[in-house]
Structure 1
């Protein structure tokens, strides 16, 4: 491996890849505990969405070539669409969101990570598909960062000056900073406080469990996407959560 974060071991990577195949086989002949077939289908879809997402993250962390992430992102967006369809049937709500981004900071983070991967991998078509799932649940026009990650690529976004979660304040302020040096410092500040701000998230400290744990990488992809979209100088950012080579890839393939 030419790993991008120090916590990942070859054994942990191999364990996850084996698990991602074994879970497909296991759930062909088993069912999730549920109150109805509809709920079982929803739990199943959510599980496999999570597996696909974690495979994409750990692949980036392990150092795979960036272009190899694209088919994984395609699979992930399809998995979110399936997850939303099954959840809609289970809950009886047509336009339900696959993520509760207003209530849970880690689910908002998951949302903006996916937005950002679509941006940085230059897949506006996938960005449009994923944004629709969340927009249609009445999240459009409710959060500044949500809108600012989309407005450069998708038309008719909202201008809004409020956001759900305080953790994103430095990143939002970086977009609107008057001075370039201030924007760069705010971007750096965001990266510095990012990991600690998600101490409640289920993935926090997952690297402490070693090769048998659930660690797949800690990545503030949204910091990279904002630097790319808004021309913020990131040359002095050295924090390990910043996806530098992914931003460089986006810049090299822009336009």
Structure 2
């Protein structure tokens, strides 16, 4: 993802408390992490086999953390929703690769170091998980959440009511009756929105957003604008994700502080854009992009046309419009 110039940043940023200097410093640090980990993993096999498993685990963990932070930062800075959507599958791959290395480390670790979650829900990692789930939903990647769920579930023996309810829209068998949240405030207050009658949900969500920031005072993002480079923006991702999943009319709180309203609008339009008439829902784990989108993953893509047409794309290359009969051409990923 290209760094925004200052003029574009100032014209398009969504989080007015974010400065251009902090944006650039944070993004440069994140990009450096991505490059260093990628270079490290591409070393010759005879070098890699002599590196301790813990090193792979800690490096890929940092990249996973930086990945979801960059997605958050990019939203606050004003990157387009198309760019954000294209980035999500890469961040998901970072999380999956960390999970593989952490599992390998867990298998050979001492008893004292074994049995920890990849992302502990009772800890501050909850907020990272919340962002990863909600942004997956909001950016039109709900069909990829079956890949994310095993990463979250690993050694997390205590369930979380909000996580279970969010994942249940994409994954069968989640416990939608679980009555508690591992971090409690502010997230516990969302459970009554799920349980409420349809007509009562807008008012409950409006109340939730009004109380969200103060209720978040024990969360790692609280007052983070006073800590310089740790600031990524203040957004109630779960409010937007719940609005989308429950199809709540957000007209009464669309302009509320902390509510990412444009992501709700993007989600609702994505259901039209990526599911052409008669094509049915997007299959689980399938990557799709429409004409004009930056390519989410390098490799071969096939148009949803009759007859289909296959083309090779590089990551972030604009997807072509073949003037399909149903509108803008939609592409699905075939292989690398």
State if a TM-score over 0.5 links the two structures: yes
- Bigger strand fraction: 2
Q: Is 1:21 aligned with 2:31?
A: yes
User: Greater helix share, 1 or 2?
Assistant: 1
Match of 1:170 among 189, 203, 219: 189
Deviation by residue 1:73-100 (Cα, 9 ceiling, x = unmatched): 1111111112212222223389863211
Pick from 162, 173, 181 the counterpart of residue 145 of structure 1. Answer: 162
Q: How far does the alpha carbon of each residue in 1:31-61 deviate from its partner, in whole angstroms, 9 at most, with x for none? A: xxxxx92222221111111111111111111
1:111 alignment counterpart = 129
The 3-state SS of whatever aligns with 1:186 is helix
CA contact (8 A) 2:118 2:154 kept: no
* Residues 75 and 84 in structure 2, CA contact (< 8 A), matched pair in contact too: yes
Aligned to 1:5: 15
Rounded Cα–Cα distance in structure 2 between residues aligned with 1:185 and 1:198: 20
Distance 1:146 1:175 in 2: 12
The 1:24–1:173 alpha-carbon spacing in structure 2 relative to 1, beyond 3 Å, is closer
- Structure 1 residue 138, shift from structure 2 partner: 5.5
Cα distance in 2 for residues equivalent to 1:109 and 1:221: 10
**DSSP 3-state at the match of 2:13:** coil
Alpha-carbon distance in structure 1 between the residues aligned to 2:169 and 2:33 = 38
For normalisation by structure 1, the TM-score amounts to: 0.84
Greater shift in the superposed pair: 163-172 or 18-27: 18-27
Q: Looking at CA atoms only, which structure, 1 or 2, has the larger radius of gyration? A: 2
1:163 aligned counterpart, secondary structure: coil
For 2:234, the equivalent position in structure 1 comes to: 218
Alignment of 1:60 with 2:75, yes or no, is yes
| Correspondence for 2:56 | 41
The alpha-carbon deviation at position 136 of structure 1 amounts to 4.6
Give the match for residue 127 of structure 1: 145
Q: Say which is worse superposed, 92-101 or 143-152, in terms of deviation.
A: 92-101
Q: What SS class does the counterpart of residue 195 from structure 1 fall into?
A: helix
Residue of structure 2 in register with 1:229 after alignment: 245
Q: Paired residue for 1:248, among 240, 243, 265?
A: 265
Residue 156 of structure 1 corresponds to which residue in structure 2? 173
Structure 1 residues 112 and 68: CA distance shift in structure 2, 3 A: same
Task: Give me the whole-angstrom Cα distance separating, in 1, the residues matched to 2:13 and 2:36.
Answer: 29
Q: TM-score, normalised by structure 2?
A: 0.65
1:206 and 1:166 map into 2 onto residues whose CA distance is: 20
Q: In 2, distance between residues paired with 1:120 and 1:246?
A: 6
In structure 2, the partner of 1:187 is: 205
Q: Is 1:99 aligned with 2:119?
A: yes
Q: Is the 8 A contact 1:98 1:133 kept in 2?
A: yes
Q: CA deviation at 1:157?
A: 2.8
Separation in 2 of the partners of 1:221 and 1:66? 14
- My pick for the range that moved more, 62-71 or 149-158, is 149-158
How many residues end up aligned between the 2 structures?
243
Tell me the residue number matched to 1:32. Answer: none
Contact 2:69 2:232 in 1 (8 A): yes
More displaced, 195-204 or 80-89? 195-204
> Higher RCO, 1 or 2 (CA under 8 Å, sep at least 6)?
1
